[in-house]
Amino acid sequence: MQFHSLLFIYLFLPVTLFFYYIARKSLRNIILLTASLIFSSWFQIYLSLVLIGSITMNYVAGIVIERTSNEKKKKLFFLLAVIFNLLLLCVFKYLSFLGNTVSELISSFGIDPFVIKGFAMPLGISFYTFKALSYLISVKRKEVQAQKSYIELAVYISIFPQLIAGPIDRYRNLSPQLTDHSSSFERFSSGIKRFILGLAKKVILATPLAMVADKIFNSPVTALNAPLAWFGAICYMLQIYYDFAGYTDMAIGTGKMFGLEFAENFNFPYNAVSVKDFWKRWHITLSTWLRDYLFLPLAYARSKKMRKEKYLGLKTDNWIYLYATTITFLLCGLWHGAAWTFVIWGLFHGLMLVLEQFGFGKILKRAYRPLQHLYLLLFLLISWVLFRSPSIQDAFQYIGNMFGTGGQPENFSLVSEYLNTRNIFVLIIGILGTTRFFDHILGFLKSFPEMKIAVIRATGTHFYHICGIIFVLLTLVLSTIFIIAGTSIPFIYFKF
Amino acid sequence: MYQVILTVLFLCMISFSFLNDFFGFYKVPETSQTENRKLASKPSFDINKLDPYPKSYGNYFNDQFPFREDLRLLNSLICYYVLHQSPLPGEVEVGKHGWFFSDQKESVVYQGKFDLAKYQISSLVKELHNRTIDYGKKGIRFYVAFPPMKPEIYPEYLPIDFRRAPNGTVTDKIVKAIKEDPVIQYIDLKTALLKAKKFGRLYNHTDNHWNRIGAFYGYNEIIGRILKDFPEIKPVTRSDFFFKTEIESAGNQANMIGLSKYLFEIQYKPIFRKSKSKYLQPIHKAPDWASYIMDYEVSKSTGDTTLPSVVIVRDSYASVMMPFLDETFHKVTYIFDAWRYGRNEAIIADMKPDIVILIIFEPHISHLIGK
């Protein structure tokens, strides 16, 4: 059941809201857990058993880690629990990739290759495993107490708005809310707006962008030229943003309707001026997770072992940064998918971060600000091609097309063929939406009630709110029309 | 207050569908007019068959969504008139200047996404070869013609991403193999239509079929070839009829996107100055698998015994060619065998024709494999 399906919006959501709000506060977690299990089972029933297994193990592990006073044993239990979580991820997500890589390696030594058929990947396993790990680490670090209520921990790990694509909320943020269950019309209505905004991002913007990007990326080399290849990359860059940001908005909006405030995941990422800045704005809950639970521990552990001096002309701190960044982004790439394209994508980001740290960042800071944006956008366009392509060979071939190795004459006639009314509208709104343009418009409209001109002030409040309600509900109707027409496609982050 | 209003309106909107399921405020039709199919019914819940249930229930819920038909139509109107694109990509493509193209099997064949192995092409050619020999033993001449797909004749109106296979289509390979066989009497309609397109519009704008003008050029090519073997035939000429212009509702592609009532097609209907052909009673009962029972066997006769008789195994492409064929032979029997293109031996044995013509729409040629 996808968020942008009729079944979710017009059946699952209202029925769950109904039972949630008629139930006593003490029963609301049970309602949420039941809804979450139905939600996950809807894709395939046996896969939700993996989710239940993960919840149970992490529940037991949390309590055991907290109750063990012996530090060595505590560390051992913690390690075992972490290994269990990672093993779960490896078996369901990476088994086939690892097996086939080994097979290719041994076949180069003349040994017969073999094929490992992986399991079907449980829905959102990458997301809920990271949430579970964040819980265990917090318990181990004594930042939080181990959860004694199985239901509450189960809701934290499996809560349906976050189940398939995050945000990867920290336990310490969500846990108090799952006890409190406070709600208000203000929060509920802001949740409605956020949900519909996300739905529109997905259905009205990301879907047509996906259609263009898919057509261009699937075209044979002979049918491409450089402008068209760049155009395809731009469409994909916008698609992935609106797809994922749309999902996140829907998740946050749904959370608000249930009185829950989830962590934000995006902050105008394409407005960034460097790769470092980008990762502070893109998939924030993942980047902060990686920073807190992987990068910093790796850097800290290494810094304890290395003396403060220079190696090969580089300061120790820089070596540590290089080491921790490479590993973090290698794993970040792998987290996104079990394929070499994701590994290269992660390493490419890591490499640019290292270069920015080693002096390029300083040069960049001194550069004209539009040039800083241009640098980041060019970098992202190339990196998203790696992310989008089915193989490294395809990625390099496409990047080659962007630089003029395509089979068509280098002019804009092929691009113009794609510029129909819908695509022009989507591109204009899409590009403006990556900036703060609509924030400024909204700010202007919000200022109506405070204006000094009495007529505008008097009518402004009503005008602003009534127009807002009509706009929100019409957007829901329009999105529903596109869903019914069957032109929407699954979320990209759904497969991670 | 505004927050309460928004919340109440939103909840009313999202609850309407499942409340309708209980209370039936809005009656959902059993069949979709725009999609020409029966809508999904509620699946029964079986604890032993849980895995298919979510999908079946999802289909049911989507199909029973109130105002679904109206919202689909609204989408078609927005997509076509405002956004200038197909409301149903993957099934119907909107090309340039209002030309619609089927995005199903035709697209797959045209873009080279459907191919046949060498042995399959050989088997197909062998089948046609054997039919020619077998019919020949009974004194019957056998001819084969493939009406080409619309994209082959009007590629200039295709959307940008609808590209012909760079190394040729599967039809090119089949035709090449057929031409290498000295026995098969193949009639090349594509070349004839490409030559004729400068004289008028040969295909419908909103349908994947050719129009009557296209069919007439196809007829001329077929009869021109048969005339070499049967010189007694008097082909229909332009002086035997005139084309009456009529405005009809739009074709099958417009219907698929629900716009057949909003678009129209200018049709040219042949009106014969003197028509001789009359319907004959069909002899054979249509089998259960026949898709269009009334069309399974249709016979007409001009009563002129000096002319040869013919059996035509056909699909929908031959429909608009029939008025011309009707006037050309002593007796014509059309067989529409649900795209099987079989030998139909029983009918041929009873009809005792002089000629058998196999008219297969290009994307369906592969149906001959394994006959």
Give A359 to chain B, closest Cα distance, Å. Answer: 45
Give B-chain residues touching A482 at CB under 8 angstroms: 75
**What pLDDT sits at residue A496?**
47
Give the SS3 label for residue B272. Answer: strand
**What pLDDT sits at residue A450?**
67
Hey, what amino acid is at A211?
M
Confidence of residue A446 (pLDDT cuts 50, 70, 90): confident
Q: Tens digit of pLDDT per residue, chain B (371 long)?
A: 888 999 999 999 999 988 887 887 777 777 776 666 678 888 888 777 777 888 888 888 888 888 888 888 888 888 888 877 888 877 888 898 889 999 888 898 998 888 899 999 999 999 999 999 999 999 999 999 999 999 999 999 998 778 898 889 999 999 999 999 999 999 999 999 999 999 999 999 999 999 999 999 999 999 999 999 999 999 999 999 999 999 988 998 998 888 888 899 999 999 999 988 999 998 888 888 887 888 899 999 999 999 999 999 999 999 999 999 999 999 999 999 989 999 999 999 999 999 999 999 999 999 988 76
CA distance B37 to B208: 20
Hey, what amino acid is at A138?
S
What average pLDDT does this structure show over A337-345? 89
Residues within 8 A of B (CB atoms), A 440-469 only:
465-466, 468-469
Confidence check: pLDDT of A115 > 80: no
A342-391: pLDDT as tens digits: 999 999 999 999 999 888 888 888 889 899 999 999 999 999 999 999 88
Confidence of residue A488 (pLDDT cuts 50, 70, 90): very low
CA distance B285 to B247: 35
**What pLDDT sits at residue A453?**
64
Query: Does residue B363 or residue A487 have the better pLDDT?
Result: B363
CB B323 within 8 A of CB B345: no
**What pLDDT sits at residue A285?**
94
**What pLDDT sits at residue A250?**
96
Residue with tokens 């007829």: B219
Give A-chain residues touching B76 at CB under 8 angstroms: 485
Hey, what amino acid is at B278?
K
Give A23 to chain B, closest Cα distance, Å. Answer: 17
**What pLDDT sits at residue B278?**
92
Local structure of residue A426 (DSSP, 8 states): H
Query: Cα–Cα distances in Å, from A307 out to A270, A319, A325, A326, B142?
Result: 39, 11, 19, 20, 92
CB count within 10 Å of CB B217 equals 21
Confidence check: pLDDT of A323 > 80: yes
Local structure of residue B367 (DSSP, 8 states): G
Give A-chain residues touching B163 at CB under 8 angstroms: 223
Give the SS3 label for residue B241. Answer: strand
Q: How many CA atoms lie within 13 A of B209 on its CB side?
A: 18
Question: Is B71 close to A481, i.e. CB distance below 8 A?
Answer: yes
**What pLDDT sits at residue A81?**
94
Of A14, A41, A466, the CB nearest to B18: A14
A336 flagged as catalytic: yes
Confidence check: pLDDT of A182 > 70: yes
Give A453 to chain B, closest Cα distance, Å. Answer: 23
Q: Which residues of B make CB contacts under 8 Å with A?
A: 2-7, 9-11, 13-18, 50-51, 54, 57-58, 61-62, 65, 68, 71-72, 74-76, 78-79, 82-85, 87-89, 159-161, 163, 166
**What pLDDT sits at residue A487?**
53
Question: Is B65 close to A10, i.e. CB distance below 8 A?
Answer: yes
Question: Is B15 close to A469, i.e. CB distance below 8 A?
Answer: no
CB B257 within 8 A of CB B88: yes
Q: What end-to-end distance do the CA atoms of chain B give, in Å?
A: 73
Alpha-carbon torsion, ordered B160, B165, B170, B172, to 10 deg: 100
Confidence check: pLDDT of A489 > 60: no
Give the SS3 label for residue B334. Answer: strand
Question: Is B68 close to A484, i.e. CB distance below 8 A?
Answer: yes
Local structure of residue A288 (DSSP, 8 states): H
Query: Cα–Cα distances in Å, from A301 out to A79, A81, A312, A320?
Result: 16, 20, 21, 10
Q: What is the CA radius of gyration of chain A?
A: 24
A40-63: pLDDT as tens digits: 888 877 778 889 999 999 999 999
Confidence check: pLDDT of A463 > 80: no
A212-257: pLDDT as tens digits: 999 889 887 777 888 999 999 999 999 999 999 999 999 999 999 9
Give A-chain residues touching B57 at CB under 8 angstroms: 7
A126-150: pLDDT as tens digits: 899 999 999 999 999 998 999 999 9
Question: Is A11 close to B61, i.e. CB distance below 8 A?
Answer: yes
What average pLDDT does this structure show over A326-355? 91
**What pLDDT sits at residue A454?**
65
CA distance A163 to A49: 14
**What pLDDT sits at residue B229?**
95
Residue with tokens 């590209």: B163
The ipTM is: 0.84
Considering the entire predicted model, what is its pTM? 0.79
Residue A151 touches partner B, C-beta closer than 8 Å: no
Candidates A4, A181, A283, A336; catalytic one: A336
Question: Is A481 close to B85, i.e. CB distance below 8 A?
Answer: no
Q: Pick from A8, A196, A15: which is nearest to B62 by CA? A: A8
CA distance A29 to A184: 18
Give the SS3 label for residue B141. Answer: strand
Question: Is B14 close to A14, i.e. CB distance below 8 A?
Answer: yes
